Structure 1
Amino acid sequence: MSLLRVAHLSDPHFGTTRLEVVDGLLNILKEIQPTLVLLTGDITQRARANQFKAAKDFVDLLGSAAVIAVPGNHDIPLGNIYARIFHPYKGYENIFKQKLEQNIVLEDLCITCLNSTSRWRHVQGDFQNSYLEKQFQESYSHCKVRIVAFHHPMDCAKHVDDKNLLKGRNKAIALFERHNVDMIVSGHIHHPFISLSEDRYPHIQRKMILSVAGTCLSSRTRAGAPNSFNMIEINTDLVPSITLTRFDMDLWFHFSPKETHRFSRDATLSWNHDLSFQEGENLTEYPRQ
């Protein structure tokens, strides 16, 4: 059995962080030792050099874990129009030395990193269809599980966040289905949420896992949603399964498990939500459809 652990962090917004929160997150990551740390955008608050430097300092303290990142809308200069138009991703590229779009393979897992931001749009995200198709031209059929990561979410819990969902998401999820994507991870709205694609996209036959992470470090939290991150454990055995645990920060700046969801993939390559539970509460088992 091959078990991979991916720490999904999002929206740290360096420039709005507190040292106690940073230390708390570093402590728990050192304890659980993920295989990979995945950052889904809004790494900085205003795409300033000192904020990217703070992000780099944080990444350097993560030890041996591999780190990959995608940009968010806050990682493009807002007030500097010249920089926004002619080199919008300079700060991101200087720090992470990574392509904006890339495929990362870890044993039997493939993570496709996409850029959902635009120099012409500050908040909403979108993809060009031709751009998406290009990213999936290369075959990764040897990988047993495929995750797609980008900043803007495909689903949300609150109607007020509908306006923040990815534009063109219906075409995007149809393409993801064609290419056997198993899980889509994102951030942006600072409100963690887990769902299956059938909830918002009933026309899609093969169910995928949609995971939205909260803000891991920023003081710009929302009511009822403290700083948090998701730990994704991927079992690439004969019958792949995924366990997703959300870690929340408490009043003492400690991150601890709060909610866990378990999924398994069936013979049709659809994912089933087997059970969920919150720490200290009874688990909920979901009947198979």
Structure 2
Amino acid sequence: MDVILHLSDPHFGTELPEVTQALIELTYQEQPNLTIISGDITQRARTKQFTAAKAFTEALQSKTKVVIAGNHDIPLFNLPMRLFWPYYNYQKTFGENLEPVFESDTLLVVTVKTTRRYRHVNGELSVTQIDRVCRLLQQGKPSQLRIVVAHHPLFVNNMVDEDNVVKGRDRAIFQWAKAGADLILGGHIHLPFIIPLHQKIDELTYPLWVIQAGPAVSERMRWNAGNSVNIIRYQESSDEPRHCKVEQWDYHDQQSGFLCVAKETLKLSLATL
């Protein structure tokens, strides 16, 4: 069985040490074979913050990590850096590739960069990026759980967050669903939830799920959401319909650790589209 840890928005520079340590301990407990971090690794894209974030990711007990940048990982106040070398500190820490891909016999993870140097908060998807993700999804194997990762959300569950939806999302949703995407993971708005897009959009005939993660270890929390991460479990089987299980794990002060607070089984499309 594949065990995937999905976390987002750790915002190093605002991290809570006790929560950070508890999340590291959770990885020793659950032993994820893949960790996905969907952006806003740092608070202000400073070298010291990236150094702390790197130490944290290396401490996670996970065989593989897939990391993408968020809008906070581009300098805000250092205008020359933002204009000419926006991802310099990020790439120095996590590698040159801003849209990494991970593939195994049972998983296909395609990331897409929604941040732009000319946008302070909001995200954007170009036609070229959408088509690239489609091509990679179409090359996937029937046995694979096919995941797209973006920092900005493609769908939200609260009208107040509509302004945070990534530009270009309508084209992306329809094309990625047709190309075989199962899950779209994201962050940015610091709220955990799961949305079945095929139940929200009448024209969508393929099962496609949006899974958002809350702030993993940061003090920058919204409302009563608190610190949380997701764990996705997937096992390819010929004996039952395709599905995966998603668990929400929240940090609790009294236990000084992360506890599973919700579980949901997501029905997926047929293996061959």
Question: Following the alignment from structure 1 to structure 2, what is the Cα–Cα distance between the partners of residues 195 and 64?
Answer: 27
- Residue 160 of structure 1 and its aligned partner are, at CA, apart by 0.7
Measured in 1, the distance between the counterparts of 2:272 and 2:160 equals 32
**Distance (Å, rounded) in 2 between the aligned partners of 1:141 and 1:240:** 15
Aligned residue type for 1:256: L
The corresponding residue for 1:196 is 196
Q: Counterparts of 2:271 and 2:89 in 1: how far apart (Å)?
A: 43
- Matched-pair contact (CA < 8 Å) for 1:101–1:135: no
Letter paired with 1:28: L
Partners in 1 of 2:146 and 2:153 — Cα distance?
Answer: 17
Query: Match of 2:244?
Result: 242
SS at 1:136's partner residue? helix
2:170 corresponds in structure 1 to 170
* Counterpart for residue 70 of structure 2: 72
Q: Helix, strand or coil for the counterpart of 1:160?
A: helix
Q: In the aligned structure 1, how far is the partner of 2:20 from the partner of 2:262?
A: 21
Write out per-residue CA displacement over residues 54-77 of structure 1, whole angstroms, 9 at most, x where no aligned residue: 000101111452111111000001
Whole-Å Cα distance in 1 between the matches of residues 260 and 170 of structure 2?
33
The equivalent residue for 2:258 is: 255
Q: What residue in structure 1 maps to residue 225 of structure 2? A: 225
Q: Distance in 1 between matches of 2:83 and 2:141?
A: 39
Equivalent residue runs for 1:47-58 within 5 Å = 47-58=45-56
Q: Is the 8 A contact 1:110 1:140 kept in 2?
A: no
User: Cα offset for 1:195?
Assistant: 1.1
CA–CA distance in structure 1, aligned partners of residues 41 and 199 of structure 2: 29
Q: Deviation digits for residues 91-149 of structure 1, max 9, x if unmatched?
A: 11111125111321022210001101100101111111022213433452325321000
Residue type at the aligned position of 2:109: I
User: Does the alignment pair 1:155 with 2:158?
Assistant: no
User: Do the aligned partners of 2:35 and 2:66 also contact (CA within 8 Å) in 1?
Assistant: yes
State the alpha-carbon separation in 1 of the partners of residues 32 and 220 from structure 2. Answer: 26
CA distance in 2, matches of 1:90, 1:143: 37
Q: Does 1:83 align with 2:92?
A: no
Query: How far 1:162 moved relative to its partner?
Result: 1.0
The 3-state SS of whatever aligns with 1:225 is coil
The alignment status of 1:26 with 2:24, answered yes or no, reads yes
Structure 2-normalised TM-score? 0.93
| Alignment CA distance shift 1:261-1:121 (3 Å) | same
CA displacement, residues 11-55 of structure 1 (integer Å, 9 cap, x when unaligned): 000000121111111111111110111000000000000000000
Percent identical among aligned pairs is 33
195-204 vs 44-53, which moves further: 195-204
Matches of 1:60 and 1:71, distance apart in 2? 17
Amino acid in structure 2 at the alignment position of 1:140: Q
TM-score, with normalisation over the residues of structure 1? 0.88
Partners of 1:7 and 1:34 within 8 A in 2: yes
Question: Which consecutive residues of structure 2, in runs of 5 or more, have no partner in the other structure?
Answer: none
Map 1:260-279 to 2 at 5 A: 260-267=263-270
**Which residue identity does 1:260 align to in structure 2?**
K
The amino acid across from 1:52 in the alignment is F
Q: Which residue of 1 aligns with 2:141?
A: 142
Cα deviation digits, residues 228-270 of structure 1 (max 9, x gap): 0000001222232100000001123310100011022354879
Deviation at 1:202, TM superposition (A): 2.4
2:141 corresponds to which letter in structure 1?
H
Q: Aligned-pair distance for 1:165?
A: 1.1
Note if contact 2:4-2:34 (Cα within 8 Å) is conserved in structure 1. yes
Moved over 6 A (4+): none
Residues 146-155 or 130-139, more deviating: 130-139
Larger helix fraction of residues: 2
Aligned length: 268
SS of equivalent to 2:135: coil
